[in-house]
C-alpha cells in the first residue's frame, strides 16, 4: 500500500466541528525522498523505496553512500518500500505530509512498547484465582495447571504462560486522519498508534 514513513511525536486531543473531544496521535510524516525505484524487469516486482530522516556520513557504510549518491540526497536513517502508488516518480522526488488529506483512512505500523518479562495476568489477561483454594494459597496471580499429567506428559506449544511481552511489530487498521499541518510536516491521527514517543511508524493509505 502507498504511504509515508513518520515519527511518533505524542498524543493530544482536538475538538471536532460538533464539539466532541477527540483523542489523537501526532505524527511527523515525511518529508520522504525516493531513493530507489524497483521494477519488474530488474527486481521482479514494482515498488518505491522511500528514505526518512538524515544521518551523518560517518555513520554510513560505503555501500549505502553509493546508494544515496546515485539519488543525490543525504544519507537516510530509515528506508521502507511501498507498493501501489498511482503516480510516477523519479529518483530524488520528495513526498510530504500533503500526501494525506483530512478524513483519509490509514493503517499505522509500529513497534509496540517493550514490557519486559511479565506474568500471565498482565500478558494474557488471566483473572487470577481469586480464592486461596485448590493449592494456590498465596499465589493468586499464578497460571495454575498447564495440562494433563501422565498423558500427554508435555506442555503443548502455544500454551499461554509468563514471558517477554511487547517489542513486536503491530498494525492498527482503519484510523482516521483528523488534521494535516503541512508547515510542520505533522498529521493528526484519531486514536492511539503503537510505539513509544520518538519511535518510527509507517502510515499506509
11 and 91 fall within a common domain: yes
Write out the residue range of the structural domain in which residue 8 sits: 3-118+171-204
Distance CA 80, CA 99 (A): 16
3 state SS of 64: helix
- pLDDT (0 to 100) of residue 126: 85
State whether 112 and 160 are in the same domain.
Answer: no
pLDDT tens for 130-179 read 666 555 566 778 887 787 778 888 889 999 999 999 999 999 999 999 99
Task: State whether 107 and 51 are in the same domain.
Answer: yes
3-state secondary structure 121-188: HHHHCCCCCCCCCCCCCCCCCCCCCCCCCCCCCCCCCCCCCCEEECCCEEEEEEEEEEEEEHHHCEEE
CATH of the domain at 104: 2.40.30.10
Tell me how crowded residue 122 is: count the other CB atoms within 10 A of its CB. Answer: 12
Helix, strand or coil for residue 120? Answer: helix
Q: How far apart are the first and last CA of the chain?
A: 6
Identify whether residues 104 and 158 lie together within a single domain.
Answer: no
pLDDT at residue 1, rounded to an integer: 83
- 142/187 same-domain check: no
Pair 33, 107 in one domain: yes
Q: Are residues 124 and 114 in the same domain?
A: no
Name the pTM for this structure.
0.84
Helix ranges (DSSP H) in 21-61? 40-43
Q: How many domains does the chain have?
A: 2
Residue-wise pLDDT tens digits, 91-115: 988 999 999 999 999 999 999 999 9
pLDDT of residue 132: 61
Q: Do both 136 and 114 map to the same domain?
A: no
| 125 shares a domain with 27 | no
Percent of the chain with pLDDT strictly greater than 70: 95
Closest C-alpha among 74, 67, 57 to residue 37: 67
Q: Do residues 43 and 10 share a domain?
A: yes
Instruction: Clarify whether residues 111 and 143 are in a common domain.
Output: no
Residues 136 and 40 in one domain: no
pLDDT for the residue 74: 92
Report the distance separating Cα 146 and Cα 182, nearest Å. Answer: 54
Amino acid at each position: 500500500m502507498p504511504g509515508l514513513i513518520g515519527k511518533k511525536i505524542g498524543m493530544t486531543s482536538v475538538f471536532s466541528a460538533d464539539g466532541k473531544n477527540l483523542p489523537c496521535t501526532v505524527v511527523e510524516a515525511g518529508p520522504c525522498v525516493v531513493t530507489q525505484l524497483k521494477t519488474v524487469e530488474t527486481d521482479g516486482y514494482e515498488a518505491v523505496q522511500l528514505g526518512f530522516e538524515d544521518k551523518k556520513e560517518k555513520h554510513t557504510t560505503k555501500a549505502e553512500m553509493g546508494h544515496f549518491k546515485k539519488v543525490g540526497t543525504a544519507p537516510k536513517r530509515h528506508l521502507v518500500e511501498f507498493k501501489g502508488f498511482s503516480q510516477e516518480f523519479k529518483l530524488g522526488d520528495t513526498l510530504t505530509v500533503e500526501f494525506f488529506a483530512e478524513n483519509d483512512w490509514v493503517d499505522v505500523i509500529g513497534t509496540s512498547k517493550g514490557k519486559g518479562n511479565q506474568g500471565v495476568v498482565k500478558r494474557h489477561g488471566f483473572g487470577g484465582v481469586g480464592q486461596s483454594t485448590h493449592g494456590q494459597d498465596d499465589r493468586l496471580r499464578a497460571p495454575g495447571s498447564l495440562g494433563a499429567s501422565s498423558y500427554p506428559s508435555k506442555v503443548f506449544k502455544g500454551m499461554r504462560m509468563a514471558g517477554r511481552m511487547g517489542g513486536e511489530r503491530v498494525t492498527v487498521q482503519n484510523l482516521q486522519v483528523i488534521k494535516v499541518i503541512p508547515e510542520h510536516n505533522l498529521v493528526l491521527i484519531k486514536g492511539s498508534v503503537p510505539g513509544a514517543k520518538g519511535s518510527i511508524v509507517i502510515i499506509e493509505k
